[in-house]
Homo-oligomer: A and B are copies of this chain.
Amino acid sequence: MPRIFVRMLSKTCEYGLRAMIFIAQHSRDGKRIGISQIAEGIDSPEHFIAKILQVLGRKGIVQSIKGPNGGFYLDEKGRKCSLATIVRALDGDDLFNGCGIGLRQCSPVHPCPIHDEFKKIREDIETMLEGARIGEFTEKLDEGLLFLKRN
């Protein structure tokens, strides 16, 4: 059973959240930030996050412009968008609805042994992710109180 790593969110989603928070930090007053700088800034594979941002772009969650001086940026709406919105866009909402031990459907009338406790956890996760906004970390990132990569 060579399990390497289990996580709550997929890599796709982790990169997506870090990238969006990074873009929020680096696209103030009309500036844009390029994909290679994003990749460097969050320590992640460039082409992979490019694809992730394309998905978010198609859904109107992030903005981008091609060509010289192009790059990614967030409008006011994007800056206020919750982390939950990003998670839903990339991972779907199974994290918020699925059964903790894999029953095909979570249902209170056909509950698994940990249904009540797990539902509570799921709701806490959702509350947390709904409550946090992409743009709210900018200042603390500037001040070096928060980080988006290891070093």
Query: Which residues of A line the B interface, CB within 8 A?
Result: 1, 3, 5-15, 17-18, 21, 51-52, 55, 83, 90-92, 94-95, 98, 100-105, 110-115, 117-118, 120-121, 124-125, 128, 132, 137, 140-141, 145-150
**What is the chain B residue whose CB lies nearest that of A129?**
B114
**What is the chain B residue whose CB lies nearest that of A17?**
B101
Contact between chains at B94 and A5 (CB < 8 Å): yes
**What is the chain B residue whose CB lies nearest that of A104?**
B150
Contact between chains at A51 and B94 (CB < 8 Å): no
**What is the chain B residue whose CB lies nearest that of A110?**
B147
List 10 additional A-B contacts (Cβ < 8 Å) besides A1-B55, A6-B9. Answer: A1-B52, A3-B12, A3-B90, A5-B98, A6-B10, A7-B98, A8-B8, A14-B100, A15-B102, A113-B141
Contact between chains at B102 and A11 (CB < 8 Å): yes
Contact between chains at A118 and B114 (CB < 8 Å): no
